Amino acid sequence: MSNKKILLAHGNGGSLMHRLIKELFLPKLNNPILKELSDSATINYKERIAFTTDSFVVSPLKFNGGDIGKLAVCGTVNDLVMAAAVPEYLSLALIIEEGLDYGLLESIIDSVSKAARLACVKVVCGDFKVVEKGACDKIFICTSGIGRVIERRKLSLSRIEDGDKIIITGDIGRHGFAVFSGRGKIDAGFVIKSDCAALADLIIPLVKRTNDIKFMRDPTRGGVATTLNEIAQGAGVGIGVEEKQIPVAKEVRAASELLGMDPLYMANEGRAILIVKSGSAKGILARIKKHPLGKNARIIGSVTKQAKGRVILSTLLGTRRILDMLSGEHLPRIC
């Protein structure tokens, strides 16, 4: 038995967490569905369904653009959407610290309710635990979700090939900065609204329309850089991205310069990365841009034969550098 400790960085979506998953969870819970490490497990019943889970420990509970309740619903809905599944049913489990204001709980459940209604999902089962003061920080939420996988759509890393285009559905880094500034440790004079949103309405019609979307993932903890690395490593391909194509809002850029934090590593909660067939990329992008959630979408790069397993960033300065996966702790409790 070793003396290794779990660090905050184990929970941040980056390389330490990936190692923990590979070394601890995969061997011990060994089964082919889990091994896919997809955001959702898809399971063959007579109809194919997707099943996903997430816990939410965000601090503060409310931030510009949402709260833990909205975040839980959107996060779980988005994990289903990324598996090409129409989100249908959610579970909701709450762990609450004794003494939590009833009014605060009520406002969080209101957010859950509103977000679920907007995303057309039903919360169909739940659980509720209270622990003594000091045994948890106010409230944690765990949501699981089930959705129906769209017929004849199997998104998979194995479909990705040389030349495919990479689309991001909107400007990046908002959620991370919104939560960070909500902690009130800084007054940097910027106001950034989280992108927190359910993506079903944007993505599901696209996936129904075309089979040329090969893979999707939402760049949450660890940000766009980490998600692109997951894709490059998982598919065994190289990925090249153009910094100048990556959409970043003015206020996010200002905050990142001020704080020395790179938007490419900041969490998003309402964005998706799509890997699409080259010839269809412009058509898919045009459709995404018509939706309010996709108006800042861009093609940011492409899949390459070179540099397998790596992400190469062509910078604004004209140089090229390796964009690594997030390592160590960036911002804990962002979701």
**Does the footprint of a copy of itself cover residue 185 (CB under 8 A)?**
no
> By CB under 8 A, which span of 35-43, 227-235, 266-274, 283-291 interacts with a copy of itself?
35-43
Minimum distance from residue 136 beta carbon to a copy of itself (Å): 5
- Paired tokens of 75: 């996060």
8 touches a copy of itself (CB under 8 A): yes
If phi over 0 gives left and psi between -120 and 50 gives alpha, with beta otherwise, what is residue 309? left
Determine the size of the site formed for a copy of itself (CB under 8 A): 83
Find all residues with CB under 8 Å of 99, minimum gap 6, and list them.
Answer: 133
Smallest separation (angstroms) from a copy of itself to the CB of 132: 6
Query: Please, what is the minimum distance in Å from the beta carbon of residue 223 to a copy of itself?
Result: 17
> Which residues have a Cβ under 8 Å from the Cβ of 69 and sit 6 or more positions away?
107, 108, 109, 110, 111, 112, 115, 141
In the complex with a copy of itself, the residue whose CB is nearer, 130 or 188, is: 130
Among 68, 81, 82, 92, binds a copy of itself (CB under 8 A): 92
Closest CA to 219 of 272, 182, 173, 171: 272
Q: Is 184 in the site for a copy of itself (CB under 8 A)?
A: no
- Asked if residue 94 binds a copy of itself (CB under 8 A), the reply is yes
The contacts of residue 267 (CB under 8 Å, 6+ apart) are 13, 175, 176, 179, 219, 220, 221, 222, 223, 331, 334, 335
On the CB side of 126, how many CA atoms lie within 13 Å of its CA? 11
Is the Cβ of residue 223 or residue 294 nearer to a copy of itself in the bound state? 223
CA angle, residues 311, 197, 315, in degrees to nearest 5: 25
CB atoms within 10 A of CB 133: 9
Give residue 120's region: left, alpha or beta (phi > 0; psi -120 to 50): left
Q: Which stretch binds a copy of itself (CB under 8 A): 24-32, 150-158, 180-188, 189-197?
A: 24-32
Decide whether 131 or 322 has the Cβ nearer to a copy of itself.
131
Binding mask 113-152 for a copy of itself (x = CB under 8 A): x--x-----xxxxxxxxxxx-xxxx--x-x-x-x-x----
Q: Exactly one of 106, 189, 279, 305 binds a copy of itself (CB under 8 A); which one?
A: 106
Q: Is 20 in the site for a copy of itself (CB under 8 A)?
A: yes
17 binds a copy of itself (CB under 8 A): yes
Taking CB under 8 A as the criterion, which residues in 54-83 touch a copy of itself? 54-57, 59
